[in-house]
Amino acid sequence: MMRQIFKLFGIAIAISAIVSCQPGGANGKSSSSSKKSAAEKAYVAPGEYDEYYGFLSGGFSGQVYTYGFPSARLLKIIPVFSQDPQSGYGYSEETKPMLQTSYGFIPWDDLHHPDISQTNGELDGRWIFANGNNTPRIARIDLQDFETQEIIEIPNSAGNHNSAFVTENTEYVVAGTRFGVPIPQKDMPIKDYKGNFKASMTFLSVDEDSGEMDIAFQIRLPGYNYDLAHPGRDKSHGWMFFTTYNTEEAHTLLEVNASKFDKDFITAINWKKAEEYVKEGKGTIEKTRYAHNKYDSQTHTATTEWKDEVLVLDPTELPGIVYFVPSAKSPHGVDVDPTGEYIVSNGKLSANLVVHSFSKIKEAVDNEEFVDEAYGIPILDFDNTLAGIVEQPGIGPLHTEFDERGNAYSTFFISSEIVKWDVKTQEVLDRIDVYYSPGHLSIPGGNSRKPDGKYLLSMNKITKDRYLPVGPEMNQPGQLIDISGDKMEMILDFPMIGEPHYASMIHADKIKDKSRKIYRLASENDHPMVVKSGKDVDITRDGKNVHVKMGMIRSHFNPDNIEGIKVGDKVHFHLTNTEQDFDIPHGFAVMGANNSEILVVPGQTKTLTWEPKEPGIYPFYCTDFCSALHQEMQGYIRVSPEDSDIELSWSLNKNIDG
């Protein structure tokens, strides 16, 4: 080995002992930076606002959770990849197309890494991009509406884990593959994986004004496993870095068979170079099939567009796009400091943190200093790209974020701590115990040129004794740490929802004033079934399909009595909330509907479809406590046998003539 840098657990246990010898790392110490108690630091008085928004991924819950910090108050659940009965997302007819894929309707995914759009390397608060890990998809959430507006499926990918990371002017959102698979997919023996499976790194362009995504190109790579990614910034803008493991190309018992080599790679992609090739018309168009789902805020309706081709760049034919940088064994996170010079590779099986220098990588590339190649892709020299080593900071490094003062903060899963170190000197400055086993951490702007290093959120994986027991599964703990002083200080411990992987945090000023209050009925509702006034209320029959255009306003539905529905009909309730007042939603639920309720916000139109199966009288009601007479906001539907000759009729405040 070139240096004594890749030490395993045996040696590292000594560090563990040192760590546990520091009593009260988390509790009982007051910060030198302030005389305020931890409780005062996290306290936001009733009626006051938090200073930051935090968007926490829900992991296997498939959603994004909006919290205010430092209070850790849950402000809103944003449904993304999972159906949400609270809002009706994925249940209403207008939003069902959002969850369409080439595998059919999928009401769930595993959402890992939300990333906020950037302008000039700073968070701009316009959109959040997030990945569906299981059935590869990228979503875009609009931060004016706090709603998912677009989901695009990623073809030729499997395990969309190293996603969704944005470049510093949101030129691209990057979606990397985790698994190597046959591309195109085919039936073949698993044992023939090595050399035959492939991987794709997908670059999605983002329209500057609308945010709309499109697959610009894919780069075809060897079928290693790829874990996480981060964009270069400032001096390294134009590059993207991916951690690469299982360079052994093992297909079974990876915990052993993918841990054999001394080192794995950081895959460095020069996307500006790739862009040049695309402009020159290089690359191959490959046939494939994927769904592109878009929600239109004007019609309040999502549509699915089917796409059937993708542009593929092969780096063995197009030199200068891809390089392999040997790095710490089995790396998890790869993180780029605010200057773009330092690239931290968090080798899970290494006792040290490896810091690469972008200038040195660039120099080695320019001078073609390659030590080898793999599948036609040049491999750089480890020593030639090294900025330094953080010697034995802890055990099991996973992720690193940065403040604006030249400090880095790394999570250590095995030794359950966060370690602060100096990016330039790689000297360890401070450490704090977290409970237990942190994965990602987040600092507002910590993945940008302009971090705002006041708080750090540690997202821990294991809870154990932190809260009152609630059966075999405990919610995972989030711990907020004040990092404004020399010493880190834990100020809050709160249970999170699902499994937060990454969280993207941003100063509230960048979002709060542009948040939508209502949809203006006059100008912001082009839904074909809208009810703008009582005149628009209508029920029409089209064979077995019955369309009900219904209005909702405090505290009644119009109409609230409906007759002439028959068994075998498909009833579409097109509901418009005609309120034009902020925060007055109405809900709608009908007995026996194989669906959820749907919530309609002021000025919006949404549709719930119901297929009644037996004759009878079916009540419906408003699900949201909208007014003092909310409980009176209800109605009846008469369902008659299939062969009945009862005419379709409806009313409000008068009898239907029978």
Q: How far is Cα 365 from Cα 320, in angstroms, rounded to an integer?
A: 8
The separation between the first and the last C-alpha atoms of the chain, rounded to the nearest angstrom, is 91
Taking the least distance from each CB to ligand CUA, the nearer of 598 and 622 is: 622
Please, what is the minimum distance in Å from the beta carbon of residue 599 to ligand CUA? 10
What tokens does 6 get? Answer: 């890749």
Give the x-and-dash track for 632-651 against ligand CUA (CB under 6 A): -x------------------
Distance CA 51, CA 508 (A): 6
Does 419 help bind ligand CUA (rule: CB under 6 A)? Answer: no
622 interacts with ligand CUA by CB under 6 A = yes
624 makes contact with ligand CUA (CB under 6 A): yes
> Whose Cβ is closer to ligand CUA: residue 205's or residue 555's?
555
Amino acid at 480: L
Stretch that binds ligand CUA, among 197-205, 403-411, 625-633, 640-648 (CB under 6 A): 625-633
> Which of residues 9, 375, 582, 625 is near ligand CUA by CB under 6 A?
625
39 touches 422 (CB < 8 A): no
What character string, x for contact with ligand CUA (CB under 6 A) and - otherwise, covers 169-188? --------------------
Q: How far is the CB of 561 from ligand CUA (least distance, A)?
A: 17
To ligand CUA, the closest distance from the beta carbon of 595 in angstroms equals 18
Nearer to ligand CUA, 299 or 555 (CB): 555
Is residue 52 helix, strand or coil?
strand
CB of 631 to ligand CUA, least distance (A): 8
Least Å from the CB of residue 630 to ligand CUA:
3
DSSP per position, 386-408: EEEEE-S--SSEEEEEE-TTSEE
* Residue closer to ligand CUA, measured from CB, 55 or 620: 620
Using the minimum distance from each CB to ligand CUA, give the nearer residue, 265 or 588: 588
Q: Distance between CA atoms of 205 and 212, rounded to whole angstroms?
A: 8
In the complex, the smallest distance separating the C-beta of residue 606 from ligand CUA, rounded to whole angstroms, is: 14
Q: Which residues in 259-298 contact ligand CUA (CB under 6 A)?
A: none
* Binding flag, residue 598, ligand CUA (CB under 6 A): no
Count of residues interacting with ligand CUA (CB under 6 A) = 8
Token pair, residue 421, equals: 């170190």
CB of 85 to ligand CUA, least distance (A): 16
Q: Taking the complex as a whole, how short is the minimal distance between the CB of residue 116 and ligand CUA, in angstroms? A: 34
Which of 237, 399, 454, 586 touches ligand CUA by CB under 6 A? Answer: 586
Q: Is 626 in the site for ligand CUA (CB under 6 A)?
A: yes
Beta pairing class for 545-553 and 165-166:
unpaired
CB of 583 to ligand CUA, least distance (A): 12
Q: Is residue 467 a contact residue for ligand CUA (CB under 6 A)?
A: no
In whole angstroms, give the CA distance from residue 250 to residue 259: 9
Q: Which residues of 419-428 are buried (b: 16+ CB within 10 A; e: fewer)?
A: bbbebbebeb
Cα R_g (the chain), whole angstroms: 27
Instruction: Report the C-alpha gap between 386 and 372 in whole angstroms.
Output: 17
Residue reference for tokens 């134009």:
238
Min dist CB 548 to ligand CUA, Å, is 17
Degrees to nearest 5, angle at CA 333 with 327 and 334: 60
**Cβ nearer to ligand CUA, comparing 408 with 626:** 626
Q: Which two tokens stand for residue 477?
A: 């703990």
What one-character-per-residue DSSP string does 415-438 give? TTEEEEEETTT--EEEEEE-SS-E
CA distance 439 to 478: 10
* Contacts to ligand CUA by CB under 6 A: 555, 586, 622, 624-626, 630, 633
